Amino acid sequence: MSFKVLLRMIKLSILLFLFTTQLLATPAQVVLLTSLETPKIWFHDKDWDVTETVERRFKKSFSKSGYNIKIIHEATAEDLSTQLKNSQNKGVFWVSHSNVVQEVGLGVEVPDLIYTIDKVDVKNIFQKIHPNIKFLAMIGCRGKSLFDKFKAQGFYKNNPNLKLFAFKKKVDPRKGIRTALKASIGVLGQKGNFRISNFRLPNIITNEQQRSYQEHLCQQEKLITLQVKRQSNSGLSAGSLIIDGRFIALLPATKKSLQEQTIQIPVKFFNKTKKKKIIFKKIDASSAQLGLLSFYSSEPISWRFFSKRDGTPIGKNENLYIFKGDKTELFSGSLSCPTFD
């Protein structure tokens, strides 16, 4: 073999290696999710859409950053949950309407809500965030109190590098996205000349680093893996499982009448002496049913569905399940680390 042929083979090998490495590399991503209606303002024409302005400012800021840019308008609860658990994401910006707990008299309080465009409350979904996400912005009306509440309750203890950004008072989405982008500079990149366009791409967490982080999470909290089976006579709406105010899992909408999904519940939940309740709440605006849930470990688990004597659910958009079995039924399931897939 001549020296020239050998040199050519070496060059081809290097090019092939570089090409393969580029294909395997997962680029970091920033995501904008909007879920709000455009207000009617007299000096704007009827076709004006506030989300177009928000999207334009977002794209302009990251245009030279090296990040993948993902835009989702009219985002649903499923969209939000998917992006908050996406290991590829470095920054997530959510734009919608929200309000805080307000006392309306005699000790009665209006619950804090984060609305989608379909008037679905998605606040609890913000409790579960992938550790790769470094910046999360909630751009709406007074969303900061919700972040403060969740942080105080310990929902972000496994996200030590996460910067949360929200507002204390009502904010215009156009001003809000600009302010949030400026706040993300120190986390997602560096400021360019007079505008936030030249972001420097940070290092992506490798699989090896991510595994070690998962091992760290496993030391923080033990979980029990359960199988959930959901069925109805027709299609199923999207729903969220809530335990003690904690978002456990989202069951996506489907046109099928039967759905199965793996969920994970904190072990400490079953060590409590009070009644163990799971709330299953509808989180879309469809006419589909929530369906009835069954829970399994190695064998079916005893959960009582809160219903009328004829079996009709009590509550159309929110159902209640109470654990009636022995704890040993649950621990036949495997203990596992938190996952974010």
The C-alpha atoms of residue 263 and residue 323 are separated, in whole angstroms, by 16
pLDDT at residue 50 in the model? 77
pLDDT tens per residue across span 195-223: 444 454 444 444 545 555 555 556 567 77
Domains of the chain: 26-212 (3.40.50), 221-336 (2.60.60)
Convert the pLDDT of each residue in 312-334 to its tens digit.
Answer: 667 778 888 887 766 665 655 55
pTM, entire model: 0.76
Which pLDDT value is given to residue 106? 37
Contact criterion met (CB below 8 Å) for 243 and 265: yes
Cβ contacts of 148-153, under 8 Å, gap ≥ 24: 149/112, 150/126, 153/245
Which of 186, 143, 171 has its CA nearest to residue 54?
171
Rg of the Cα trace of the chain? 23
Q: 89-95 and 135-139 as β-strands: parallel, antiparallel, unpaired?
A: parallel
pLDDT of residue 135: 96
Token pair listed for 255: 């046109």
Q: Determine the pLDDT at residue 32.
A: 96
Q: Give the other-Cβ count within 10 Å of 9's Cβ.
A: 11
Q: State the Cα–Cα distance between residues 300 and 99, nearest whole angstrom.
A: 40
Per the structure block, which two tokens stand in for 313? 């659910």
From the list 181, 180, 71, 76, the residue with the least C-alpha distance to 125 is 76
The CA angle 121-132-237, to the nearest 5 degrees, is: 30
**What is the mean predicted confidence (pLDDT) over 103-132?**
72
Q: Which residue type occupies 112? A: D
Q: State the CB neighbour count (10 A cutoff) for residue 158.
A: 19
pLDDT of residue 314: 73
122/137 Cα distance (integer angstroms): 15
* Cα gap 321→242, rounded to integer Å: 10
Q: What is the C-alpha separation between 71 and 93, in angstroms, rounded?
A: 10
Q: Which two tokens stand for residue 32?
A: 């904008």
Q: Are strands 68-72 and 29-34 parallel, antiparallel or unpaired?
A: parallel
pLDDT cut 70: percent of the chain above it: 65
CA 217 and chain centroid, separation: 18
Q: How far apart are CA 322 and CA 324, in angstroms?
A: 6
pLDDT given for residue 107 in this prediction: 38
Q: What is the pLDDT of residue 23?
A: 37
CB atoms within 10 A of CB 140: 25
Contact 138, 146 (CB under 8 A): yes
Per-residue model confidence as pLDDT tens digits over 29-80: 999 999 887 655 544 556 557 789 899 999 999 988 889 999 999 999 999 9
Pairwise CA distance, residues 39 & 37, whole Å:
6
**Cα separation, 187 vs 196, whole angstroms:** 13
**Mean pLDDT of the chain, nearest integer:** 76
Return d(Cα 197, Cα 64) in angstroms, integer.
6
Q: Over 50: is that where the pLDDT of 289 sits?
A: yes
Scored b (16 or more CB within 10 A) or e, 293-330 reads: bebebeeebebeeeeeeeeebeeeeebbbebebeeebb
pLDDT-derived band at 102 (thresholds 50, 70, 90) equals very low
Outline where 72-206 has alpha helix (H).
77-84, 144-152, 173-183, 185-188
More confident site: 99 or 287: 287
Average pLDDT on 134-147 reads: 87
Q: DSSP alpha helices (H): ranges in the chain?
A: 3-24, 50-62, 77-84, 144-152, 173-183, 185-188, 207-220, 327-330
Mean pLDDT value of segment 82-88: 91
